[in-house]
Structure 1
Amino acid sequence: TDAVALYTRQDDFGKMDGSGEPDWESKDAFNWVLLSSPEENSVMMVSDNSLSKMLEPDFYTHWRSFFLYRDGELQEASGYQLDHLFNDVFPVFSKAYQSFCSAHEFGRILDILLPEGEVKEQFRTAALSGASDVKMVDD
């Protein structure tokens, strides 16, 4: 559509040459253009790798690996709040983002209680996935 075409002509899209051509050979190329609801009038340009990580985050997911446009203007990272962006503007990310935030808070508690090591990493993994292959309690 015309709404997407405007963003595919950005220098950072796809092959990064302004041609509007995606670069499907690179999973780090910004090939995906996500449109918000018309009321929000926002567009996110994101790579396959970042999109996948944001839909299925782990403890180390970086939540600012995209370009955000509002009313056609590129936004500075300080110009928006991630909570609003992922819960309201692009709700496709809401469940994953909330899960990440909960696990990240749990991770802060682990940082206080446990030294670095295998046990700490097992708790982090269990917090993110909701399950563990390792029994974490003693009978």
Structure 2
Amino acid sequence: MKKKYINQIHTDVSFKPKDIIGLMTDYFKMKTKLRPIKNLPIVLSDKNNESLESVTWFGHSASLLKMECGQYDPRWSAIHMLPEETVQAHMDVKGELLLPIHWGAFTLALHEWSDPIERVTKEAKRLEVKITTPQIGESITLKSTDYPSSAWWREI
């Protein structure tokens, strides 16, 4: 079983002809100041083991992890995580603060619009994972200990 050091950004869709996913990826890179190779952590991963337990991060710590938690269905398990799996993945890579993304714009799947964020916040609370739920456009200060955490989506 061979393991390779890889930089995850090389598998990013933004290196393909620009489609909406590539453009969104570029937007997130621009907003987070992440650039290929230079700033992203190198990971050691085992392609034969699908468990995130086989992933080891090298380099800087992940103080904020933006992880998808929406647009899921059991039939799509190869490409989308369930909200509970999002929390587990965050724990597996030893993230400090979880920022759920990919849930609040529009619904592609058969779940309710707010179901992903309800489930991910419930699981994060159960497992004592720090989570932030800023409103769209709201800022997060990483050095703060008071992160946006209101259930604003319930008021919409």
The structure with more radius of gyration: 1
When normalised by structure 1's length, the TM-score is 0.29
Answer 1 or 2: which has greater helix percent.
1
When normalised by structure 2's length, the TM-score is 0.27
Q: Which structure's relative contact order is higher, taking Cα pairs within 8 Å and 6+ residues apart?
A: 2
